Amino acid sequence: MIPFNYLGFFFKHFGTLIYQKKVLEELCIFLKPLPSQASVLDIGAGTGIMSEFAHKCNSELKYVAVDPADGMLKYAPAYVQTYIATAEELPFEDNSFDMILMGESLHHFSNPELAMKEAVRVLKKNGKLFIYDFDVSTFRGKAVCWMEKTLGEPANFYAPYELKKILERHGFTVEIKHYQWRYTVEACL
């Protein structure tokens, strides 16, 4: 397993380098319709990088982050409320959030199906979901998957069309956007 609990400093200072500018622009566009004080949950947040990017787009939203590694969450920005938890057992009431972010975290979940059920449970009606991950149908995506499996991670990677089908089964309407060997999912309940 990757020792994420000890990698917070590294991810905080170098993790932002892997996010493409166009993806961040798309995140801002996707956030735009949310009303002031809407609640955003960053699942598998690590150091809160996705929340940090979203905050730059809209600082009036309420940001909450969950991650099982306290050593990552301690580097989250002060405006992000943090919880030590897994995606499969979110410590929130039903219908608590207007939007969920998953930035390069879905493939780390032990049970992605249960994580999706939890995401749907805590997401409000008409809630939004933004996922950024590696495309395992590309050479580089396959290489990342192989490396993570070698390191003992769950490595639950999906080709975009596979993830689209899974999300649609959970009631989402889904739009996939491709960025070389990564992709985003913009979904609404």
- pLDDT confidence of 20, banded at 50, 70, 90? confident
pLDDT reading at 136 higher than 70: yes
Q: Can you give the pLDDT at residue 21?
A: 87
pLDDT reading at 1 higher than 80: no
Of all residues in the chain, what percent carry a pLDDT higher than 70?
A: 95
The per-residue pLDDT of the chain, averaged, comes to 93
Q: Which two tokens stand for residue 165?
A: 């089908």
Q: Can you give the pLDDT at residue 10?
A: 66
User: What pTM was estimated for this model as a whole?
Assistant: 0.94
H helices within the chain, ranges in order? 8-14, 21-31, 49-57, 70-73, 112-122, 139-150, 160-169
Q: How far apart are CA 55 and CA 156, in angstroms?
A: 28
pLDDT, tens digit, 9 for 90 and up, residues 66-103: 999 999 999 999 999 999 999 999 999 999 999 999 99
Residue 48 DSSP label: T
Q: Can you give the pLDDT at residue 94?
A: 98
pLDDT reading at 112 higher than 70: yes
Q: How many CB atoms lie within 10 A of CB 28?
A: 14
- pLDDT confidence of 11, banded at 50, 70, 90? confident
pLDDT reading at 9 higher than 80: no
Q: How many CB atoms lie within 10 A of CB 15?
A: 21
Task: Set out the domains of the chain in order of their start, with CATH numbers.
Answer: 4-136+144-188 (3.40.50.150)
* 3-class DSSP assignment, residue 152: coil
Half-sphere exposure of 73 (CA within 13 A, CB side): 19
Q: Can you give the pLDDT at residue 8?
A: 67
Q: Can you give the pLDDT at residue 128?
A: 98
Q: Can you give the pLDDT at residue 101?
A: 98
- pLDDT confidence of 139, banded at 50, 70, 90? very high
